[in-house]
Every structure is written in structure tokens, then in C-alpha cells.
Amino acid sequence: MLPDPKTQVVEHDFSRGPWWPSKTVDAVWCVEFTEHVGRNFHVNYFPAFKKAALIFVTHSTWGGWHHVEVHEDEYWQAKYESNGFVYSKDLTARVKAIARTERENNTEAFNGKHFQASHVIRTMQVFINPLVASLPEHSHLFAEPGCFTDYGKPKHDCGTGRKEDNISKLPERFKALKITSDMELQWENIVNKSLPKDSE
């Protein structure tokens, strides 16, 4: 699905040891994984998670094939917090709400099927890794306009409002990534190329 998998994908068996990525990343998206890895191997995947500013992770609360770590939310919160991550109730609620809305609205994926996002809605938890989130290269993650407009009105980017010639504008690298329609189209093309073709 990725444009250049040879340079963008690492296949690693966490039962054989840890993987130590060389660079930090904005986020890890981990769905349908943790319940399949015994706690004797947790020490092997945490080094990879520790290279991310944000960790989006699901878990299972019921049985299934090779479900060896089935636990409730509180277990995983304690596990991740004991490894230096901070549970974000707010970000967890936001990502679940987005998934729920997409399901309720029958949002269509690129393949014409509707999003279900069951794992995200049920057990997704979001954790912040302060050691990475605090690095300058990840300053854009918690971005919103910071200059006051008026009571009851949204804030605006500093240096862009009236009478603000003396207020310095925020450099672009500190602002949230703006998703354009071209970016969406590029992503759709990447995904469509990876989808199996229906047999006729």
C-alpha cells in the first residue's frame, strides 16, 4: 500500500528481540496487535513505541485466535503509564467519536465499503509520550490558533488579525498539517492500488 515498501516497511518478529528505530515519529497506529503478544515479549515492542509522540492502540476484551493478553482498559493504562506514557482521556474520546460518526454516517472507504472501525470504537486508547512529543520536530502536533479574537469567537493565528502588525507570526513548522484535496487524492490513489481487484 505504501509507495516504496522496501524503504518504508520493517518486518520484525518481537519474539526474537526489540526493534530500535533510529528516528522519532509523530504517531504509532496499533490495531489488533497487543492481545496477540505475550507479556514476556512486551519489553521488545515498547522501544519502538517509545520513538512516537502519540500512541493510538487497541486491545481485546474477549477471546480469539492467539489472544494471550486479554485485559480491560485499566490494565493497559497502567502498563503504558509504567513505561512513561501518559493516557489522554481527551484524545481517546476524540478518536472514538470520529470513528463512531464515520460508522453512523455510513462513510464510504475508497473500496466502496463502509467504515466499521469496531476496534477503534470499543477499545482504542491514546497515549502521549512526553519525551518525544516535547521535541521541536513534533511541535506541530498540539496546534491551534493562539491569539484572542473576542469572547465567544474562535481564536486566530497571531499576526493575521487587525492591529497585530507587531505580533510575530508563528512559523509554519509549529502549525498543524493542512490536508489538501490533492493530498487526499494522492492517498486515495495509493490505497486503491493496494486493493485487490474484483474478479469478473
Q: How confident is the model at residue 94 (pLDDT cuts 50, 70, 90)?
A: very high
Residue 72 grid coordinates: 480491560
Nearest to 53 by CA among 91, 18, 19, 16: 91
The CA dihedral of 86, 87, 90, 92, to the nearest 10 degrees, is 130
Instruction: Tell me the per-residue pLDDT of 27-55, one tens digit each, with 9 for 90 and over.
Output: 999 999 999 999 999 999 999 999 999 99
pLDDT tens-digit readout, 102-133: 999 998 887 788 888 999 999 999 999 999 99
Residue 167 reports pLDDT greater than 60: yes
| pLDDT for position 195 | 74
**Averaged confidence pLDDT in the chain:** 89
- pLDDT of 48 reads 96
CA distance 91 to 123: 13
Whole-number pLDDT of residue 1: 63
CA torsion angle 150 152 153 159 (round to 10): 30
Highest mean pLDDT (candidates 51-65, 146-160, 161-175, 182-196) = 51-65
Buried b (16+ CB within 10 A) or exposed e, 89-118: eebbeebbeebeebbeeeeeeeeeeebebe
Dihedral, CA of residue 156, residue 158, residue 160 and residue 162, to nearest 10: 90
What type of residue is 163?
A: K
Q: What pLDDT, in 10s, does the model give residues 184-200?
A: 888 888 878 877 776 44
DSSP 166: T
pLDDT more than 90, % of the chain: 60
pTM here is 0.86
For position 199, what pLDDT does the model report? 42
**What pLDDT was estimated at residue 47?**
96
Residue scoring higher pLDDT (160 or 199):
160
Predicted confidence at residue 187, as pLDDT, reads: 83
